[in-house]
Amino acid sequence: MKSPYQNLEDRAFWRACVGRDDDAALARLWSPKLVLDRATPLMTAGSCFAQHLHRALVRGGWNVLQGEDMSVHLPNRLCHRYGYNLFSARYGNIYTARQFRQLVEHALSDDPPPVLCWEKDGRYFDALRPSVEPEGLGAPEDVRQSREEHLSALRSVLAQAGCIVLTLGLTECWIDRETGLALPTAPGTIAGSYDPDRVYLHNFTQSEVMADLRATRDLLRDHGLQAKFLLTVSPVPLVATATGHHVGPATAYSKAVLRAASGELSLGDEDFDYFPSYEIITTPIAGGPYFDQYGRQPTDEGVQLVLKAFGRALGDDASATLETDAVSARDHGQDEETICEEILLEAFNR
């Protein structure tokens, strides 16, 4: 009797491959569609987990673009506190596909960028990246000027990028009613104040996520930019949900939508690929799960396994060993805490 499962590779069978983190097993976790090597200019963006990927790729010697580099002027901790060197530009955390789409639209537009200011104690914050100036700025005009400088730097990064490594984190998003802008966090979390007449919650569907990602790709092509997309999904659970549901099922919904959207795009569109960092951190396929004691942040070991699997799948023999990377991560850990607006929501749990 013949079966379609006869003569398949070991990686097709759970018992034959799950729980292994040797080089051969890691190399089989991903079958890259995109042509990438260490010389490929990479742009990193996304949610909090993207900060882990950015640091790991930089330490691993990959060609990670940095459009607003302050590392020669400031220590790591201060750089990160002010939004520098967390990603390829100073856009802060980008939690949703809609946020990334509007960021690229603003960067490539000939029109003046929209500026949405929040105020707190006489200081002003860019509502589209409120965490990059933790103490705020002195006037709305300062916010506008800072945003124009940021978008100018981002245009240069987009022009150079061969691949955009985009980590999708959330489907829940607060939308400003007047402008239609997607916000990284609700007003009142960092600055501003919550007014249901001015903002509303939207929970994106799979089709909406796919449409936003395709629209972003089309916009790049319209401007002659050829970057491909390597999509990942953040393994970090939601801190809180505003949907009225339990945070557990709400997290499962968001991750399922983002994983399904990424998978469908990867299967049917040559400009998109998917890398399984979500699965490496959250499941036993490579010996995990790899979460800290609170069950939210990935451990250094897990992040380095993600990078190692990335390199091995690309046939990169120069990839640093897990032990070397883990030591480097521990040595730098005190200067590299993750900046995350979402974690601030814990303060409202009373």
Total structural domains within the chain: 1
Confirm whether 197 is domain-assigned: no
CA 69, 344, 105, 221: dihedral to nearest 10 degrees? 70
CA distance linking residue 242 with residue 244, whole number of Å? 6
pLDDT reported for residue 339: 65
Confirm whether 262 is domain-assigned: yes
Mean model confidence pLDDT for the chain: 91
Range of the domain at 44: 39-111+154-170+206-290+301-348
Confirm whether 61 is domain-assigned: yes
Confirm whether 335 is domain-assigned: yes
Confirm whether 239 is domain-assigned: yes
Check: CB of residue 55 under 8 Å from CB of residue 167. no
Type of residue found at 207: S
Confirm whether 135 is domain-assigned: no
- CA dihedral for 103, 57, 315, 289, sign (positive or negative): negative
152 sits in which H/E element: helix 140-160
Question: Over the stretch 64-119, which tens digit does the pLDDT of each residue have?
Answer: 999 999 888 889 889 999 999 999 999 999 999 999 999 999 999 999 988 999 99
pTM exceeds 0.85 for this model: yes
Q: Which distant-in-sequence residues (6+ apart) come within 8 Å of 90 by Cβ?
A: 67, 68, 83, 84, 129, 132, 150, 153
CATH number at residue 68: 3.40.50
Question: Over the stretch 25-63, which tens digit does the pLDDT of each residue have?
Answer: 999 999 999 999 999 999 999 999 999 999 999 999 999
Confirm whether 181 is domain-assigned: no
Return the structure tokens found at 176. 């400003």
Percent of the chain, pLDDT > 70? Answer: 90
Q: How far is CA 285 from CA 13, 77, 288, in A?
A: 11, 34, 7
Confirm whether 132 is domain-assigned: no
176 sits in which H/E element: strand 172-176
182 sits in which H/E element: strand 182-183
Query: Rg (Cα) of the chain, in Å, rounded?
Result: 20
Type of residue found at 106: H
